[in-house]
Every structure is written in C-alpha cells, then in structure tokens.
Amino acid sequence: MPSVHPVLRNLPEYPIVRVERAKRERLDADLAVFDFGTGDPLDPTPGFIQDALRDGVESVCRYPNPRGTPELRAAAAGYLQRRFGVELDPATQIASSRGSKEAIFHLPFAFLDVASGRDTVVFPTPGYTVYESGTRFCGGVAHGVALTPENDFLLEPWTLPREVRERIAILWVNYPHNPSGARAPRSYLESLTAFAREEGIVLCSDECYVDVFEGEAPISLLEFGTENLITLFSCSKRSGMTGYRSGFLAGDANLIETYSRLRPNLGVATPLFVERAATAAWSDDAHVSSRNAIFSQKRALFREFFDAEEIPYWGRDATFFLWFRVPGGEEGESYCRRLLDATGIVTIPGTYFGAGGEGLARVALVPPLEECRAAIALWREWAAS
C-alpha cells in the first residue's frame, strides 16, 4: 500500500467540498440553486482590471520573481499609504503572494521552531480553516481560541495559560472576521501588537476583508507599527479577483525577508500578467466603493429578513458574510441541508468553520441582487411552512 502523510490521512474532507457536492447534485437534476456558500462573489471583476490582465500577456511569459514586480510592490505601498496612512518600503517590507490562502498555509514553515519549543500556532475558531491545516502539516501544535458573541469575537491571547503563551510562534487574527463579520476596536488591536512584541510572537493579521464594509472604514494592524507583524492583503474580495490569485504580505522587514527566503522553495510565484492586473487593482479605490455599495444593498435585504424572522445574526457592516443562529435550536448541518433540499439555497453550517460554530450558519452575499431577493422570498415561504 502506498503511504499517505498522517495529517492528510486523518484530515476530514475540506468542508466546502461537501457543500459543492450537494450543490452539484441539484444542478445535475436541473434544480435551481441560490449559492450563498463559498465567499466567491459573482459580481464581475471591473473591466479595467480584466484589460490590464489581457494587456499584460507578453509573447514570452517567463518565470515570475517570487517577491513580486517592483510595480506591484509600489502599487501595494501606495494603497497602504492612501488607505491607512502608513509608509512602507516596497523593497523590504512588501512581498507578493498567490492570494492569502497559500501564504497562510506556508507561514508556519517559515516561523515554527518545534525543537526550541516555539511550536504553537494560535488562531480563531470558528475561522478560516487554513490557519489550522498549515500548522498541522508543518508538525506544529494548533491551538484554536473560541470567538463568541460573549467575547465580541475578539481573540485575547493574554488570557491563555502561560505554558501555551511561551510556545506560541504565530498568532493569527482576522478582522473583519470570517465568518462572524466582527470588527476589532482600535484599543484591542493596540493591545495585541504590544502583546506580540513583549512575547516575541509573529503576529499574522489576515486582512483580506478590510476593504469590504459600509460606514466607518476598518483599520489595519499596520497602523500600530510593523515590528513583529505580518499583514496579509488580497485582491480576491476587494476587487472581485478570487480566480486571479494575487495578494501581498506587508510588515516587519526581517519577517518579510524570512518568508521571502522560504518562498522560492514552495513553487513559482504569481504570473506576471496577473501581477499587472493586481497592480491596476491596488492603484484604484473607486471600484472598491462601487462593489461595497452593492454588498450594502444585499446586506440590507438579509438584515430586514433576519430581523423580521427574529433570527439573531452578526455581520452588520463588514465582510460580505452574515452569521446567524439557526432557529429552534437545530444543528447547522441539518438546517442547511433542509434549506437546500427545499429551496435550493446554499448556506454553510457553522461547524465547517471549526469549534464554536455549533447551532450557527453562514450566508455569503455572493449572488447578484435580484437572486438575493428571489432566494429570500423562497426562504421566507419555507420558514412559514
């Protein structure tokens, strides 16, 4: 029998794959599907970004530099300056990534030192599952911390026992948070940076939803200095570029250098023509406001629906997720399945995002507005039946 990596052998199927399978069964049976599952919006990528991609193709397409083109890094620095008022050196404090997902998976390989006892990665749960899987494949200890409405979905590492704190190599935070949509207040983020510096921890801040909001703009951890900090940004959600695979890391020059030494070992970088599209995307903010205006309209429809149904929910003004309590104390998995079978509406059970998701589920505001209206009408009818 060929051997299999033990972490892979024991890993449950990637949760979204299960949702995709159930969806496919309906599509194959010619039944309607309203897909509020994966966070992959259907609103088109702005035309100027598509044009930059097409214009970026050269007659010879050579291996890209893993660090990213100087133009991409300059555009990223320009974005950080405009958006958060921070000045970073594009040569030493910014590195390109193939979207956040791969960087999240890879970072433990750069910073875990199992032999010296710095073997632990702390991450939010429920949360994006890759914080945990990257750690496990790397042989590290994955330590999830529960985020709940009671703690305002804030991960407070200073409350962990000293034995855990001493072993932390990487601390993950993700605000605005998937799946709860929670934001983090300034005072909390300030305490977090102080904690990471005192304890010598690499603070990794996944900020891929920082530009998806209404009302006041969420802040970045970069606003509190870069020491011990890596922030991850992505074109995926901000600019509707999930399939392009481009983002960047920004922060402490020493940490960026360590990651950059690891990076060429893990594969080749984002293709040049994609980086040209990403350069255009980071250089423009107007398209982000237009996309946010659409998300706000969709969010308003769901807010009205959940309020009318008296379903408690979170995610009122950031990310494109709504995180709701399943009515009647039912488990998320059975509720989402019944909803799908009866109406074709795809939602994701809370437990797919880890411990703490029990009795909850997530709606991603990805279908176009008209489909959101149609789906809500069906959901309302089903709830009343």
Ligand X SMILES: Cc1ncc(COP(=O)(O)O)c(C=O)c1O
What does the binding site for ligand X look like in residue numbers (CB under 6 A)? 39, 99-101, 128, 174, 178, 206, 208, 234, 236, 242, 247
Q: By C-beta, is 176 or 359 nearer to ligand X?
A: 176
CA 306 to chain centre: 24
Q: By C-beta, is 242 or 296 nearer to ligand X?
A: 242
Closest distance between ligand X and the C-beta of residue 363, in Å?
Answer: 14
Q: By C-beta, is 270 or 343 nearer to ligand X?
A: 270
Interatomic CA distance for residues 41 and 101, integer angstroms:
17
- Kindly give, in sequence order, each residue whose CB lies less than 8 Å from that of residue 12, ignoring residues fewer than 6 positions away: none
Interatomic CA distance for residues 67 and 83, integer angstroms:
22
Secondary element (H or E) of residue 118: none
Closest distance between ligand X and the C-beta of residue 319, in Å?
Answer: 8
Secondary element (H or E) of residue 166: none
Closest distance between ligand X and the C-beta of residue 179, in Å?
Answer: 8
Q: By C-beta, is 277 or 376 nearer to ligand X?
A: 277
Closest distance between ligand X and the C-beta of residue 82, in Å?
Answer: 20
Closest distance between ligand X and the C-beta of residue 230, in Å?
Answer: 13
Q: By C-beta, is 174 or 226 nearer to ligand X?
A: 174
Interatomic CA distance for residues 94 and 230, integer angstroms:
9
Q: By C-beta, is 73 or 106 nearer to ligand X?
A: 106
Closest distance between ligand X and the C-beta of residue 328, in Å?
Answer: 28
Phi, psi of 180 (to 5 degrees): -80, -15
Ordered DSSP codes for 291-322: HHHHHHHHHHHHHHHHHHHT--EE-SSBSSEE
Q: By C-beta, is 38 or 258 nearer to ligand X?
A: 38
Interatomic CA distance for residues 33 and 26, integer angstroms:
7
Q: By C-beta, is 99 or 134 nearer to ligand X?
A: 99
Closest distance between ligand X and the C-beta of residue 244, in Å?
Answer: 9
Q: By C-beta, is 103 or 376 nearer to ligand X?
A: 103
Residue whose entry in the numeric block shows the structure tokens 């080749």: 268
CB 172 within 8 A of CB 123: yes
Closest distance between ligand X and the C-beta of residue 362, in Å?
Answer: 10
DSSP summary character for residue 122: E
Closest distance between ligand X and the C-beta of residue 17, in Å?
Answer: 14
What is the separation, in whole angstroms, between the first and last Cα of the chain?
A: 52
Ordered DSSP codes for 331-364: -HHHHHHHHHHHH-EE-EEGGGG-TT-TTEEEEE
Q: Where are the beta strands (DSSP E) in the chain?
A: 34-35, 94-97, 120-125, 141-146, 168-173, 202-206, 229-234, 247-251, 313-314, 321-325, 345-346, 348-349, 360-364
Q: By C-beta, is 39 or 332 nearer to ligand X?
A: 39
Amino acid (one-letter) located at 11: L
Please count the residues of the chain: 385
Closest distance between ligand X and the C-beta of residue 31, in Å?
Answer: 26
